[in-house]
Amino acid sequence: MSAVARAPRARTDGGSSWWVYAAVAAFALLVAGIFLSAFLNSIASSWFGGWLPDGYTMRWYRFALAEFNLGYVLWVTVVVGVSVTVLSLILGVPAAYVLARHAFPGRAPLLLLLVLPMLVPPITYGIPLAAMLYAAHLGGSLAGVIVVNIVPALPFAVLIMTPFFEQIDPNLERAARTLGAGPVQVFRRVLLPIALPGVLAAGLLILVRAIALFELTFLVSGARSQTLVVALYYTAFAAGNRPAQAIDAMAVVYMVTGLVVLLAALRFINPVNMVIRVRQ
């Protein structure tokens, strides 16, 4: 396959792509250096001055599990991540479908309104939103954290799913309608099964983002509703009385959580399709 594909390119290209490998290697080396520094420190019994730690231990993971209530924090993170993803999909799938299928007056301003939350920093609406939630006695609660996280997740869901629906042949829906299916039936029995892979992929991406989103959770969460990022920030911020290795251990747990979801997403979708391109 590659021989056939490459022959014409070699001629037109002038050839070398060594710089791609060099650039990626440099970037990967920097990131790996940073990650390994934290990772090795998290399993180091002590590390003074040498290239490698003086010895290894799992003590800091046990410490983090006990001291930082890691199990509970992970549970909160999963609950928030999954709830935000499911709710954004339920709200976003129908909206994305309409935007993909119907040209109507006011479509452009409507789309702008729906994606606007992605274009302004979360802290700008997060502060008044947090004030509102505290007034409604939702501040600090798990429900409050889920509610605020939907704000940036929903536009993201709409943006990445609109192209999926655009790729589905409208004739399938017309055929179903000719055969007497109502709109809800068409959606449930025809569209959804075809769009399901796309919807699942979108869900994984929303989950990756929801796990990583910091500002809004930070503004709204209380002691019992912190997600991993926020708990981690508080721990790192108040670093003075905690061993750095234990913070690193927690950070590694955080990264592995995100990495598993991202790798799952990369397995299902070509990264090219992970982005936003909406017909204008």
Partner 1 sequence: MQRAAGARVGPGTAPRARRGGLRWGPLVPIAPALLVVLVLFVYPFAYGLALSLHPIGALARGGMLANYAAFFGTPWERASIWNTLRLAVPVSALDLALALPLAYRLRRPLPGQRLITALLVIPMTLGTVLLAEGMIEFFGPAGWANKALLALHLVRMPVQFVHNYTGVFISLAIADFPAVFLVLLGYASGVDPRLEQAARTLGAGWWARLRRVTLPLLAPGIAAAAALSFVATFSVFPSAVLVGEPAGSTRVIALAAWQAAYEQFDYPRASAIAMVMAAIELVFVALVLAARNRAYRGPTIGGRG
Task: Check binding of 275 to partner 1 (CB under 8 A).
Answer: yes
CB-based contact 73:228 (threshold 8 Å): yes
Question: CA separation (Å) from 84 to 41, 164, 209?
Answer: 33, 20, 10
Site size toward partner 1, by CB under 8 A: 101
Q: Can you tell me which of 62, 188, 189, 277 binds partner 1, judged by CB under 8 A?
A: 277
Q: Can you tell me which of 86, 113, 143, 172 binds partner 1, judged by CB under 8 A?
A: 113
Q: Which of 235, 252, 259, 250 is nearest to 37 (CA)?
A: 252
Least distance from partner 1 to the Cβ atom of residue 72, Å: 18
d(CA 75, CA 225): 10
State which residue, 36 or 66, has the beta carbon closest to partner 1.
36
Task: Check binding of 271 to partner 1 (CB under 8 A).
Answer: yes
Question: Sign (positive/negative) of CA torsion 4, 10, 16, 19?
Answer: negative
Q: Can you tell me which of 43, 70, 76, 151 binds partner 1, judged by CB under 8 A?
A: 151
d(CA 97, CA 42): 46
* CB under 8 A, 24+ apart: contacts of 95-101: 95/158, 96/157, 96/158, 96/161, 96/162, 96/164, 96/165, 97/161, 97/165, 97/187, 97/191, 99/158, 99/162, 99/278, 100/162, 100/163, 100/164, 100/165, 100/166, 100/279, 101/165, 101/170
Q: Can you tell me which of 7, 9, 171, 193 binds partner 1, judged by CB under 8 A?
A: 9
Least distance from partner 1 to the Cβ atom of residue 255, Å: 5
Task: Check binding of 114 to partner 1 (CB under 8 A).
Answer: yes
Task: Check binding of 45 to partner 1 (CB under 8 A).
Answer: no
Task: Check binding of 81 to partner 1 (CB under 8 A).
Answer: no
Q: Which of 114, 101, 111 is nearest to 183 (CA)?
A: 101
Least distance from partner 1 to the Cβ atom of residue 58, Å: 18
Least distance from partner 1 to the Cβ atom of residue 109, Å: 12
d(CA 266, CA 201): 9
Q: Which range in 72-80, 138-146, 192-200, 269-277 contacts partner 1 by CB under 8 A?
A: 269-277
Q: Which range in 54-62, 64-72, 74-82, 162-170 contacts partner 1 by CB under 8 A?
A: 162-170
Least distance from partner 1 to the Cβ atom of residue 45, Å: 15
Question: CA separation (Å) from 135 to 124, 129, 132, 182, 218?
Answer: 18, 10, 5, 43, 17
The 218-257 contact track toward partner 1, x by CB under 8 A, reads -x---------x--xx--xx------x--xx--xx-xx--
Cα 262 → chain centroid: 8
Task: Check binding of 268 to partner 1 (CB under 8 A).
Answer: no
Q: Which range in 74-82, 137-145, 176-184, 192-200 contacts partner 1 by CB under 8 A?
A: 176-184
Least distance from partner 1 to the Cβ atom of residue 122, Å: 6
Q: Can you tell me which of 63, 125, 142, 242 binds partner 1, judged by CB under 8 A?
A: 125
